[in-house]
Amino acid sequence: MMNATIPPRLYWSCRRGMLELDVLLGNFLAEAYLKLSIKDQDLFVKLLDCNDQELFEWLTGRTQSAQPEFTNLIHQIREHAKHRHTS
């Protein structure tokens, strides 16, 4: 059986220059990342390479990413944030 753990570098990558991003990305990483498919986990890592302003705009719904592969993942992060205290 494979031991599914979150690589420590991802925790550091979720630490951003904006508290809002720290919270959104950190909570998603801790609570939902391991439930993602391997493909989506890889996509999350790629998403973390984007700059803070882009991420903030996308995750708050102000703009959409020009990279369509991020659309579903961004939606998942936003939904996770909306519903994490309702269950």
What are 16-51's pLDDT values in tens digits?
989 999 999 999 999 999 999 999 999 999 999 999
SS3 of the chain: the string is: CCCCCCCHHHHHHCCCCCHHHHHHHHHHHHHCHHHCCHHHHHHHHHHCCCCHHHHHHHHCCCCCCCCHHHHHHHHHHHHHHHHCCCC
Mean per-residue pLDDT, 66-72:
95
- Average the pLDDT over 51-77 and give the result: 95
Give the model's pLDDT for residue 1.
Answer: 40
Q: What is the mean pLDDT of the chain?
A: 92
**pLDDT beyond 50 at 81:** yes
All structural domains of the chain, each given as residue ranges with its CATH number in brackets, are 18-83 (1.10.150.250)
